[in-house]
C-alpha cells in the first residue's frame, strides 16, 4: 500500500513518521522546499521529543521520504492522508482553505482508485463536502472515498501519543474504507472505534473541548480557593480519587494554549451558533481561559502598584513544556503588558527563545540560563513548568534577585519550601507565602 501524507506540520510529520516506524512505506508531501530538504537531511522542522531520531532512522531505512512533487505523489497513491492546518479565522471559524487546496490537487492528479483520509481537524460535515468536491473535480475516471481519522496527539508527547494511542477513531461510510484503515493501523495494536464520518468529526471536537473545559473549571476553583483560604492542590487531590473524575487536567495555572484547544473551542462554538445552538459550557470555557492568562499580572500590579522601572525575569515562554510552540502562550500577552507598563524584561526558555525573538526582537533581553534572567530582578514570573526551571532552588532566587518576589503561574514549588527560603511567593489557588 502506498501511503501519502499531505502536510508536514505536527500532525502530518508525526503521523507519517510513526506509520513508517511500524513498517509502512510513507511519502510526505509539502510545498515548502526548504522544509523538505531539512527533513531529507534528518532535521525535524519542529521541536518534538524523539521525532528527529525516528525521521533519520526511517528515512535511512527507505520507509520514509519527502517531496514537493504532489502531482507524482498523488498519482498512484492507495491512501492519502490530508494533514494540513485548519487555523482559526477572525470570527473563530476554522479556515479550510488548505484542506480544499490539497483536495483540488488530489482531484486533478490521482490516476487510480484511492481512499482520502482527513486527519486535519474539521467541522462536522466537512468530510462529506470534501468528498463531493473531489468527485466534482476529478480529471480521471477513478473511484474515491473520504474517511475521517482525527488525531489525539499532544505536543511534547506526540510520538508516544501516536504509537501508543488510547484509541484510533475512524469515521467511514463503507466497509471498504473501514478495511483499508484497519490494514493501515493493524500494526499498532490499539482499540479502533468505527463510526460514521460525522460522529468521528464530533468526537475530535468533543474530546478537546471537554479537556479545555476541565482546565477552565479547575482554574475557576483555584481562583475561589484563593479568596476563601483553601488550597487547590488539596482540592484536586481529593477530586482525583473519584474514578469518574480522574487526575488528568486538574492542575491549575494560566489556562490552556497551543495549536488545538484555543482554536477548537472557538470553532465548535462558532459551528454550534451557525446551526442555531449555543454551547454555554464551551463559551464559558473560552471566557475563563482568556481571563486566567493575566492572573499573575493582576497579582503583580496589586503588589507593586506600578511596574514601571522594575526589572522582571520571565521564566518559560512556550505554552507548555516539551515544545517550542508559542501559539496562545500566556507569556506573549503578559510580556506585552509588562513592556507597556514600563518594565525591563529578561526572558529564559530552553527551546522557545528563537521563536520568541521573531515576536520580540529588541524589546526584551534573552538569558542563556534561568539564573542569568534572575540576576538583580525585582520580580520573577514563571509561565512554563520546564524541568530546568523547576530544578532551580528557591534559595537561588533569594541569592540572585534584588527582591525575591515570585509569581508562579504553574505552582512549581511547595509552599513549605517557599516559606523556608524566605521568598515572597504568589501562586495559583494557594495561600501566599511571606507576603
Beta 379-382 vs 192-195: how paired, if at all?
Answer: unpaired
Name the β-bridge partners of 66: 28
Sign of the CA dihedral 320, 323, 116, 188? Answer: negative
Cα separation, 93 vs 106, whole angstroms: 24
Contact call for residues 321 and 385 (beta carbons, < 8 A): yes
Contact call for residues 326 and 332 (beta carbons, < 8 A): yes
C-alpha cell at 49: 521529543
Name the β-bridge partners of 346: 313, 365
260 is catalytic: yes
The rounded Cα 318 to chain-centroid distance in angstroms is: 10
Of 18, 260, 412, 435, which one is the catalytic site residue? 260
The angle, 0 to 180 degrees and rounded to 10, between the axes of the packed helices 126-137 and 97-109 is 40
CA triple 251-121-45, angle to 5 deg: 80
Contact call for residues 204 and 121 (beta carbons, < 8 A): yes
How many other CB atoms sit within 10 Å of the CB of residue 152?
16
Residues marked active site are found at 260
Amino acid at each position: 500500500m502506498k501511503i501519502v501524507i499531505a502536510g508536514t506540520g505536527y500532525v502530518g510529520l508525526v503521523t507519517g513518521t510513526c506509520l513508517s516506524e511500524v513498517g509502512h512505506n510513507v511519502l510526505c508531501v509539502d510545498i515548502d522546499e526548504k522544509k523538505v530538504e531539512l527533513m531529507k537531511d534528518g532535521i525535524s522542522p519542529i521541536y518534538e521529543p524523539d521525532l528527529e531520531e525516528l525521521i533519520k532512522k526511517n528515512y535511512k531505512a527507505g520507509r520514509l521520504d519527502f517531496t514537493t512533487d504532489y502531482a507524482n505523489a498523488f498519482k498512484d497513491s492507495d491512501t492519502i492522508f490530508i494533514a494540513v492546518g485548519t487555523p482559526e479565522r477572525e470570527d473563530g471559524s476554522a479556515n479550510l482553505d488548505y484542506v480544499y487546496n490539497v483536495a483540488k490537487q488530489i482531484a486533478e492528479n490521482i490516476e487510480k482508485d484511492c481512499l482520502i483520509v482527513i486527519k486535519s481537524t474539521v467541522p462536522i460535515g466537512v468530510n462529506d463536502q470534501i468528498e463531493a468536491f473531489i468527485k466534482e473535480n476529478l480529471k480521471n475516471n477513478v473511484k474515491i472515498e473520504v474517511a475521517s481519522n482525527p488525531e489525539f496527539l499532544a505536543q511534547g508527547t506526540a510520538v508516544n501519543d501516536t504509537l501508543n494511542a488510547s484509541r484510533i477513531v475512524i469515521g467511514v461510510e463503507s466497509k471498504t474504507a473501514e478495511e483499508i484503515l484497519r490494514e493501515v493501523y493493524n500494526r499498532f495494536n490499539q482499540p479502533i472505534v468505527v463510526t460514521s464520518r460525522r460522529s468521528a468529526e464530533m468526537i475530535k471536537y468533543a474530546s478537546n473541548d471537554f479537556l479545555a473545559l476541565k482546565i477552565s473549571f479547575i482554574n475557576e476553583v483555584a481562583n475561589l480557593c484563593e479568596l476563601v483560604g483553601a488550597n487547590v492542590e488539596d482540592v484536586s487531590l481529593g477530586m482525583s480519587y473519584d474514578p469518574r473524575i480522574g487526575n488528568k487536567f486538574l492542575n491549575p495555572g494560566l489556562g490552556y494554549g497551543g495549536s488545538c484547544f484555543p482554536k477548537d473551542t472557538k470553532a465548535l462554538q462558532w459551528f454550534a451558533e451557525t446551526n442555531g445552538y449555543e454551547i454555554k459550557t464551551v463559551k464559558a470555557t473560552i471566557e475563563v481561559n482568556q481571563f486566567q492568562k493575566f492572573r499573575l499580572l493582576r497579582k503583580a500590579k496589586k503588589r507593586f502598584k506600578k511596574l514601571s522601572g522594575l526589572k522582571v525575569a520571565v521564566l518559560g515562554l512556550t505554552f507548555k513544556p516539551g515544545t517550542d510552540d508559542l501559539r496562545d502562550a500566556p507569556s506573549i500577552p503578559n510580556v506585552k503588558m509588562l513592556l507597556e507598563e514600563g518594565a525591563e524584561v529578561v526572558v529564559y526558555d530552553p527551546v522557545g527563545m528563537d521563536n520568541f525573538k521573531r515576536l520580540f526582537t529588541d524589546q526584551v533581553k534573552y538569558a542563556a540560563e534561568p539564573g542569568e534572567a534572575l540576576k538583580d530582578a525585582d520580580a520573577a514570573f514563571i509561565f512554563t513548568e520546564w524541568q530546568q526551571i523547576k530544578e532551580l532552588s528557591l534559595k537561588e532566587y533569594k541569592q540572585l534577585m534584588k527582591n525575591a518576589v515570585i509569581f508562579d503561574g504553574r505552582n512549581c514549588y511547595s509552599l513549605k519550601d517557599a516559606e523556608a527560603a524566605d521568598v515572597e511567593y504568589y501562586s495559583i489557588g494557594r495561600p501566599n507565602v511571606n507576603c
